[in-house]
């Protein structure tokens, strides 16, 4: 499982002209990618890591500040562009595997106490954000 985590001042996801998820205060924007072997251990680990990372201002975590989290599914995090000019997506899990994992990460974040906003799995989304810092980290397990 891979996640790109950005500290943001605000972020939103729009699908077909309609905002489907938004955070309007400092929080985290998370792009989440799932591979074929991801299971409950990876889901629990990445949710805990996202919620507890001390990347907010003054070395605090989203959990310390009760900061919102916007999670966007992002299969392209498993794109491989080493050979040729066209990326390969074979490392990305297919929808029937990755959608339940995406939902489980969001649910685990909520169980931990996060206010979670979401994109729409598999949709063509427009993501807007105001990165703060900028702070961007790649998590992988």
* Catalytic residue IDs: 74-76
* Whole-angstrom distance, CA of residue 26 vs CA of residue 64: 12
Whole-angstrom Cα distance, residue 141 to residue 38?
9
Count the Cβ atoms, other than its own, within 10 Å of residue 129: 18
Burial 79-96 (b: 16+ CB within 10 A, else e): eeeeeeeeeeeebbbeee
Which pair of structure tokens corresponds to residue 20? 């489907």
Max Cα-Cα span within the chain? 45
Return d(Cα 38, Cα 92) in angstroms, integer.
Answer: 10
- H/E segment holding residue 83: none
């Amino acid at each position: 499982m891979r996640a790109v985590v950005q500290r943001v001042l605000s972020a939103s996801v729009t699908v077909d002209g309609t905002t489907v998820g938004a955070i309007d205060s400092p929080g985290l924007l998370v792009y989440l990618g799932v591979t074929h072997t991801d299971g409950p251990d990876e889901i629990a680990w990445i949710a805990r890591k996202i919620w507890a990372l001390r990347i907010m201002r003054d070395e605090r975590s989203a959990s310390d500040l009760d900061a919102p989290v916007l999670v966007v599914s992002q299969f392209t995090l498993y794109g491989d562009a080493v050979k040729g000019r066209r990326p390969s997506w074979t490392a990305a899990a297919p929808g029937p595997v990755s959608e339940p994992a995406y939902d489980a990460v969001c649910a685990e974040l909520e169980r931990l106490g996060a206010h979670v906003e979401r994109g729409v799995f598999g949709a063509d989304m427009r993501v807007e954000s105001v990165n703060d810092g900028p702070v961007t980290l790649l998590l992988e397990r």
